[in-house]
Amino acid sequence: MKKRIMVVQKADFMRKIISDTLQENGYEVVAETAKGLECAMRYRGLQPDLVILDTLMSDQTSFLNILPILKKEEPPARVLVTVTFEEQGSDALKLGADECILKPFKPEALLKAVGELCP
């Protein structure tokens, strides 16, 4: 059974790169959005195996706001945060992110992180 992933990225090109890479490697992308609040609202109905979350979304929400909401869900979301700065990664991990990946990243690095979170 394919692992189901929600991609939440502000930049259209990043959503496309991530989604295409995942789909080409056997994952199912169940939703794509640039908005953190949309992610939080849709998570419960979709129940993805993983959320790939940007640090800042187009609706001006940030991982600082959205990550705690996702972690309070039942079951708690597994979240991979894509960060621009290493300090953001430390903050994300403190808030409960399961993993962080520093942008820009190669497809292989993304697939490795996703594979570890969705065995």
* Confidence (pTM): 0.96
CATH at residue 79: 3.40.50.2300
Mind listing the pLDDT tens digit for each residue in 9-63? Answer: 999 999 999 999 999 999 999 999 999 999 999 999 999 999 999 999 999 999 9
Q: In this predicted structure, what is the pLDDT of residue 28?
A: 98
Q: What are the structure tokens assigned to 95, written together? A: 């808030």
Location of structure tokens 């189901």: 4
Number of domains in the chain: 1
Find the domain containing 88 and state its range.
4-117
- What residue spans of 8-58 are helical by DSSP H? 12-24, 36-46
CA distance 43 to 69: 10
